[in-house]
Structure 1
């Protein structure tokens, strides 16, 4: 049976998510739930795919937003997409996207698939995509360089793979009486957000509004795609984290901590708690997400890499960002109007590149 490009309907949502969960490169950022969350911040989600009979062979969730200036054109962005089975499915998907780009008035589509294989980059080039965003730091919308920990070992072997200092800090937190727990209701969200505000002031980065995290709970936590974890010491919440989960992968996405009692290592306790939880869910990969690709120990972001490496994680480099122009002249104009284009990229990234925030 020939493969067919289709627009996804509400009835397709469960099978679409199941395909993402079982396919390499599948990500929470490609789900309908993520599109619903982003729709509350001004994006318009669109979901497409390729079917071979009743089976998906490719899917892509696109977030759409108007471009500045006259003409009523929009950009499309597929975070960690597309997710495809192979070259034929990708070709069918791209042909379909070229057709719908007219009615959707898309000037171009930006993608940043969660794929390491450079052969996939070659397929994107053959399909008409152009490389974009080649920096070594957090220049991209999503981090190109991530730290991933294999969970395909017993927990004691995973713990033994931590660096001596990291393992000491994990055990120190236990000895000092730090406890961890997943939140089962949204009641702790205000506490988490206050910790996030304190972390932002301490480390000098921007954060989203409290309403965004309320929406995240509604759209992701309630649907089993995310969990909020808390670390407590002597009755006080010292740290909080948000973990995404789909299929056999868990992603550490947001982290926050108090300025108090940092010596009891609540952040180490939380990471170990999330790793254990992910393993219990059957995950084979724990993704610490972004680091800089510049591994110079003198670099300003090397400490982030050192912290994540301490848990036994290894560096993975994705193929990076690619753009598919639908209106080449307008795309050329936008990409060469450097000040406006940089502002556009910052708008997509939400001003949180340094932390790799989604």
Structure 2
């Protein structure tokens, strides 16, 4: 095995595409997106002699203001078989060297493994973390089911809403040029105000759209009588189709545009060959009730783990957890979307 830095976007994503555990947040494009929010990105791959990928990590780094310190973070990674201790050791040796060279207090990992998956993190000197960045609890839909089974698992009320939305004349288009981005942001503002979560400035989302690879994202907009009513923005890679952002206007709720929109996205992701649809967050009211109408499974990820380099500084960091979280994820919302 050999660990090496990958500096070419095409090579990185091609390597990841060979691994079923690879998540959209480990793609090259997401690392470039996070540069706008003050992160750096380093990509490390462990390959066999024949070039086969054994393990990989897109390592994001954030400097601690006014101090020669930093934190490193591997969102929805590392990309590795959960029980591959040898591969993890080789990968983390390279991650450790990099993290220590930039004064990292710790490295946080947040693998795309479901809770209960046997793994070797704790035996590799990782400790469970109380600081979450991505959502831990979500709803997921198995897209390997037939379309008939997907419909059968929905609540009867949701199926009725689909029929009513079709009668309302809801039309759905995929925005492939970004012409509806500003309109989607206005809908998102309306949604955030109604559901009480925070948003980034509009420029942040435009940067995501322009930076993330076009073939890895799907922005759908629902219209009634040519008026935009709702949007849903997906990021996809490997087996995962993940809802990044979404919103609906008050008028869109009345026309049930968001119901038909989500069903359209589920069907499109299934037809595109993705295996798992992640609704990206589980809440108990409002949005959560809407999501459960589509018959998903309540799923949880294994959660974040930290590999500590400076124990005393780490203790101080965890004691100042609210401030620390704001430093890592400034302007973040309350689970509607990704960071």
TM-score by length of 1: 0.89
Q: Is the 8 A contact 1:247 1:283 kept in 2?
A: yes
The match for 1:233 among 224, 227, 230 is: 224
Q: Report the CA distance between 1:69 and its aligned residue.
A: 4.7
CA distance in 2, matches of 1:197, 1:175: 27
The match for 2:154 among 146, 149, 162 is: 162
Q: Report the CA distance between 1:118 and its aligned residue.
A: 3.6
Large movers: runs of 4+ above 6 Å = none
- State the match for 2:293 in structure 1: 310
Relative distance call for 1:7 and 1:34 in structure 2 (3 A) is same
CA RMSD, 1 decimal: 1.8
CA distance in 2, matches of 1:346, 1:170: 40
Q: Is the 8 A contact 1:21 1:27 kept in 2?
A: no
The match for 1:347 among 304, 327, 330 is: 327
CA distance in 2, matches of 1:104, 1:347: 17
Higher mean Cα deviation, 140-149 or 260-269? 260-269
Q: Is the 8 A contact 2:107 2:306 kept in 1?
A: yes
Relative distance call for 1:258 and 1:119 in structure 2 (3 A) is closer
The match for 1:81 among 66, 77, 83 is: 77
Q: Is the 8 A contact 2:139 2:282 kept in 1?
A: yes
- State the match for 2:258 in structure 1: 267
1:199 correspondence with 2:195? no
Alpha-carbon displacement from aligned partner over 1:74-105 (angstroms, at most 9, x marks no partner): 11111101111322111111122222222222
- State the match for 2:21 in structure 1: 25
1:143 correspondence with 2:138? no
Q: Is the 8 A contact 2:230 2:252 kept in 1?
A: no
- State the match for 2:303 in structure 1: 320
Relative distance call for 1:119 and 1:87 in structure 2 (3 A) is farther
Q: Is the 8 A contact 1:239 1:258 kept in 2?
A: yes
Q: Is the 8 A contact 1:25 1:80 kept in 2?
A: no
CA distance in 2, matches of 1:118, 1:125: 13
Structure 1: gaps (5+ residues): 134-138, 293-300
Q: How does 1:89-104 map to 2 (within 5 A)?
A: 89-104=87-102
The match for 2:243 among 238, 244, 252 is: 252
SS at match of 1:289: coil
Q: Report the CA distance between 1:306 and its aligned residue.
A: 2.9
CA distance in 2, matches of 1:9, 1:57: 18
Q: Is the 8 A contact 1:108 1:325 kept in 2?
A: yes
Alpha-carbon displacement from aligned partner over 1:135-161 (angstroms, at most 9, x marks no partner): xxxx72101111110111222331222
1:62 correspondence with 2:53? no
Q: Is the 8 A contact 2:115 2:303 kept in 1?
A: no
Alpha-carbon displacement from aligned partner over 1:10-69 (angstroms, at most 9, x marks no partner): 2xx334323433423311111111011111221111111211121111111111111145
- State the match for 1:297 in structure 2: none
Higher mean Cα deviation, 14-23 or 229-238? 14-23
CA distance in 1, matches of 2:288, 2:199: 21
SS at match of 1:60: strand
TM-score by length of 2: 0.93
SS at match of 1:46: strand
Q: Report the CA distance between 1:180 and its aligned residue.
A: 0.7
Q: Is the 8 A contact 1:141 1:353 kept in 2?
A: no
CA distance in 2, matches of 1:55, 1:305: 41
- State the match for 1:278 in structure 2: 269
Aligned length: 335
CA distance in 1, matches of 2:333, 2:139: 18
Relative distance call for 1:152 and 1:213 in structure 2 (3 A) is same
CA distance in 1, matches of 2:239, 2:11: 17
